[in-house]
Copies of this chain bind each other. A is one copy, B any other.
C-alpha cells in the first residue's frame, strides 16, 4: 500500500473494525450467562441420567440399545458435521474470507447451540420440577436451531463484524424457538427437515438483515468478492458434507423405524436428482457450456432443502426425484438471474445466494409438504400410519389430511413472517454504529478481524 492510499485510509475510513473491547465483553458476558442459566435450568433427562437403569426397569425397557441415544447419535454426528464443516467450509469460497467463514461460523454455532438448548428447552422440554431435561434429541434440535442462524450468516458474509454475528445469533435463536413452538406445537404442522422452520425462516431472516444493512458502495470491495482456484476446492468440502449428510439431517428427528428410514431415502433421491438439473442449467446458461462452481457448490443442495418437510411422508421415490428435479433448475436460475436482480432492484446483497439455496427451496418444501399432507389417504398410509405420521388423535377428532394441509400452509406463513419481521427488527439494531463492522471497501477481507501472516 502506497502512502497516498494509507493517508486516504486514515482520513476517509468511516468505520473502525477494532473489536478488542466489544468482542471479548460480549463473549464473556454471554458465556457467563449460559453458565448461570444452565446451572438454574438444565439437567440430564431420564436416558442420560445415571438413574437410567432404574428408569429401564420401571418402564420395562428390555435393553440399553433401546436408549434413544442409539437411534439418534449417528444422525446427530452427521448433523453436527453439517453445521460446523458443512456450513463453515461452504462459505470459504471467497478468496480472502476463509478464516471469517469457517471461524465465525464456528463461534456463532458454539454460542447458538447453548442458547438454543435453553430457549427450545423452555418451550418443549420443561419438566414439572421447572428443569429442562436434555438428551440427544435436544442436541439435535439445538444444532438445527443454529443452522437457521448460519443460513442467515450466508446472506451477510463478509459484511459484518463478529460482534454483529453474535447479536444476530442471540436474536435469531430466540425468534427461531418461538416460531418453532408456534409451528410445531400450536399449529401442529410437521416439518421433519425444517424446510419452513429452519430454511425459510433462516434465509429470510438473513436477507431482511442484509436489506437493512444495504451498502450502496459495496463494489469498492469487488476485487475480493470472488473466489480463487483453491478456495473453490475448499468450498466443495462444505458442499459435499452437506450433500452427503442431508439424509441424516432430514431423518434425525423423525419417528423411530420407518420414519427415519423413509426420510433418508427421500432425501437421498431428491439430492441426486438436483445435481443433474443443476449441472444442466449451469452449462446451458454459460458461454461454451462451461460449468460455474457457484452453482455446483450451492444449487446441488436445493433438493435437500425442498424435501425437508415431506421427507417423512409417503412422498414416494419418484416424488422425491421430481422435487429435486425442479429445485435444481430453480435454484441455478436464481443464481443466474435473481441474485443480481435482488441486489440491483431490491437492495438485497446476498453474498452466498441463500435466497436460491434456502429461501426458494424452503418455500417450495413448505408447499410440497402442504400438498402431500392434504393428499394423504388412508389407502396409502393406513389408519395407523396417518395417526403416527401426522400425530393425529386416534379418532381423527378435528384433524383430517386436508385440514393438516391448511395447517402446513399456515406454518409456512409463520416462518416467513418471523424471518422477514425478525430480520428487519434485528437489522435495525445492527445498523447502530457501535458494532465494529467494516467499511464498504474493507468487506470480504479477513485482515480486519484476523492476524494474517502472509
Those of A62-110 within 8 Å (CB) of chain B: 62-67, 69-71, 73-75, 77-78, 80-81, 84-85, 88-89, 92, 95-96, 98-99, 102-103, 106-107, 110
Across the interface, do B289 and A20 meet the contact criterion of CB distance under 8 Å? yes
Say yes or no: A264 contacts B69, CB within 8 Å: yes
Cross-chain contact B289 with A19 (CB below 8 angstroms) = yes
Contact B107 A244 (CB under 8 A): no
B49 touches A291 (CB 8 A): no
Interface residues of A (CB under 8 A from B): 17-24, 27-28, 30-32, 34-36, 38-39, 42-44, 47-54, 56, 62-67, 69-71, 73-75, 77-78, 80-81, 84-85, 88-89, 92, 95-96, 98-99, 102-103, 106-107, 110-111, 113-114, 134-136, 139, 162, 226-230, 232-234, 236-237, 240-241, 243-245, 247-248, 256-258, 260-262, 264-265, 268-269, 271-273, 275-277, 279-281, 283-284, 286-293, 296, 300, 314, 316-318, 321-322, 325, 380-382, 384-385, 388-389, 436, 448-454
Is there an interface contact between A240 and B102, defined as CB atoms closer than 8 Å? Answer: yes
Q: Which residues of B contact A74 (CB under 8 A)?
A: 73-74, 77
Contact partners of A237 in chain B: CB under 8 A = 85, 89, 237
Residue of B nearest to A292 (CB): B451
State whether A321 and B114 are in contact (beta carbons under 8 Å apart), knowing that A98-B233, A99-B293, A265-B44 are contacts in the complex: yes
Q: Which residues of B contact A227 (CB under 8 A)?
A: 453-454
Interface pair B71/A296, CB less than 8 Å apart: no
The answer to whether B114 touches A84, judged by C-beta atoms less than 8 angstroms apart, is no
CB-based contact A69/B260 at 8 Å: yes
- Beyond known contacts A42-B317, A92-B233, A233-B234: 12 more, CB 8 A cutoff: A23-B279, A50-B262, A50-B314, A56-B257, A65-B70, A65-B256, A67-B256, A77-B78, A77-B245, A85-B244, A106-B300, A293-B450
Minimal beta-carbon separation of A192 from chain B (angstroms): 13
A382 to B277, CA, bound (A): 53
Q: How far is the CA of A296 from the CA of B23 in the complex (A)?
A: 14
Check A139–B265 contact: CB distance below 8 A. Answer: yes
Q: How far is the CB of A327 from chain B (nearest CB, A)?
A: 12
A112 to B, closest residue via Cβ: B272
A65 touches B64 (CB 8 A): no
Smallest CB gap from A135: residue in B = B261
CB-CB under 8 A from A262, the residues of chain B are 44, 48-50
Residues of B within 8 A of A289 (CB): 18-24, 436, 449
CA distance A313 to B275 in the complex (A): 38
> How far is A161 from B189 in the complex, measured between Cα atoms in Å?
46
Using A28-B280, A50-B385 as known contacts, say yes or no to A62 and B62 having CB atoms under 8 A apart.
Answer: yes
Report whether A51 and B296 are in contact in the complex, using a CB–CB cutoff of 8 Å. no
Query: B77, A288: Cβ atoms under 8 Å?
Result: no
- Nearest B residue to A263, CB-CB: B48
Shortest distance from the beta carbon of A280 to any chain B beta carbon, whole Å: 4
Q: Determine whether the beta carbon of B317 is less than 8 Å from that of A44.
A: yes
Instruction: List chain B residues, Cβ under 8 A from A234.
Output: 230, 233
Task: Kindly list chain B residues whose C-beta atoms are within 8 Å of the C-beta of A322.
Answer: 35
A384 to B262 Cα, complex, angstroms: 34
- Residues of B close to A233: CB separation below 8 A: 92, 98-99, 102, 234
Q: Given B28, B88, B450, which contacts A290 in the complex, CB threshold below 8 Å?
A: B450
